[in-house]
Amino acid sequence: MIVLPRVVLDQLLTQDKIVPGTIADLGQSGMGLGVRTDEPKPDIGSAEGLKRTLLAAKSIVITDPCWRRRGLGRGGSSSCVM
């Protein structure tokens, strides 16, 4: 048995490293959006507003559980499969 983010399990499944039909979602994780104090409040009240906000952003940071294995810095999960 192995517990990993769903996206990683799906990758393992396509590589025939997980038995088909054995993946079960254990929970959900909410995502949030924060705005720096010196930035205007974005219009994210609709899907279209959120899309415009994301497309106009100078940068977007998304966590990656495998970032250490990809050589992008310290930390990260030691259980990620490349």
- What DSSP line would sit under 21-69, residue for residue? T---------------TTSPPP--SSHHHHHHHHHH-S------TTTTT
Please choose, from the candidates 7, 1, 30, the residue with its C-alpha nearest in 3D space to the C-alpha of residue 80: 7
pTM for the predicted model, two decimal places: 0.44
Residue ranges in the chain whose pLDDT is less than 70: 64-82
Residue 51's pLDDT is: 93
Phi, psi of 50 (to 5 degrees): -65, -45
